[in-house]
């Protein structure tokens, strides 16, 4: 098993962005709800295009993007955090995790914990009390991981797959 203490966690630079995007695209399948019946390739294509925004996001003072790098200089994980987003019911400013990904070889080695704690420090240093995130309910590994690190369920996001009713009513 790879050793996490041979891994360095540091702030990301713009030259890391292609590897961050490749990793996020590689593991995005774990975050896709089975309700969606999405084709993995289509999701990966969408994710890759969406993440091009990281080039601008990295320059924002409220963004905290950190990478984990192994001895060979290979990027083995990243976390993308933002400080100062409004919480939807109270309006209180808090931190938010947009992505946390680790290469599967390094799962279970503590790299994700180190990345998330780095993001927590970043958010706390900006005077914020809370750090939020969204997890797909089917992503049991991530849910267990976040619970282990002290995150609690606060709200449920619900969805219904819509279909025409059997008895059509006139509207
Ligand atoms: C979710 C993810 C980041 C977790 O990474 P990981 O490498 O397993 O996490 P770590 O090794 O740092 O584990 C940290 C702690 O969580 C615990 N943990 C991890 N997975 C667990 C599980 N399935 N059940 C219980 N505890 C778990 C570990 O035991 C460890 O606890 P300890 O430090 O007290 O021993 C990783 O699996 C991943 O990149 N998944 C794909 C992307 C993803 O789903 N990201 C989250 C999107 S919101």
Q: Which atom in ligand 1 lies closest to the alpha carbon of residue 101?
A: 39
* Domain 4-148 is found in CATH 3.40.630.30: yes
Q: Does the pLDDT at position 169 exceed 70?
A: no
C-alpha–C-alpha distance, residues 50 and 157, integer Å: 21
Q: Which two tokens stand for residue 64?
A: 């905290």
C-alpha–C-alpha distance, residues 71 and 42, integer Å: 33
CA of 142 from ligand 1 middle (Å) equals 6
Handedness of CA 65, 54, 29, 131 (dihedral sign): positive
For ligand 1, whether the C-beta of 79 sits within 6 Å is no
Mean pLDDT of the chain: 94
pLDDT in tens, 16-55: 999 999 999 999 999 999 999 899 999 999 999 999 999 9
CA of 165 from ligand 1 middle (Å) equals 42
Q: Which two tokens stand for residue 17?
A: 């962005």
C-alpha–C-alpha distance, residues 77 and 114, integer Å: 10
Domain locations in the chain? 4-148
CA neighbor of 146 nearest in space, from 158, 129, 132: 132
pLDDT in tens, 53-98: 999 999 999 999 999 999 999 999 999 999 989 998 999 999 999 9
For ligand 1, whether the C-beta of 113 sits within 6 Å is yes
């Amino acid at each position: 098993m790879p050793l996490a203490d041979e891994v360095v966690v540091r702030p990301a630079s713009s030259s890391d962005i292609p590897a961050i995007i490749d990793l996020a695209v590689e593991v995005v399948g774990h975050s896709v709800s089975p309700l969606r019946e999405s084709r993995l390739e289509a999701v990966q294509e969408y994710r890759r295009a969406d993440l091009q925004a990281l080039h601008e996001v990295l320059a924002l003072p409220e963004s905290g993007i950190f990478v984990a790098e192994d001895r060979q200089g290979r990027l083995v994980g990243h976390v993308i955090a933002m400080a100062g987003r409004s919480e939807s019911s109270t309006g209180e400013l808090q931190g938010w995790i947009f992505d946390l990904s680790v290469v599967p070889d390094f799962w279970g080695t503590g790299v994700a914990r180190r990345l998330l704690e780095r993001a927590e420090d970043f958010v706390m240093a900006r005077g914020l009390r809370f750090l939020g995130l969204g997890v797909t309910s089917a992503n049991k590994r991530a849910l267990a991981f976040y619970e282990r690190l002290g995150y609690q369920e606060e709200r449920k996001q619900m969805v219904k797959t819509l279909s025409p009713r059997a008895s059509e009513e006139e509207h």
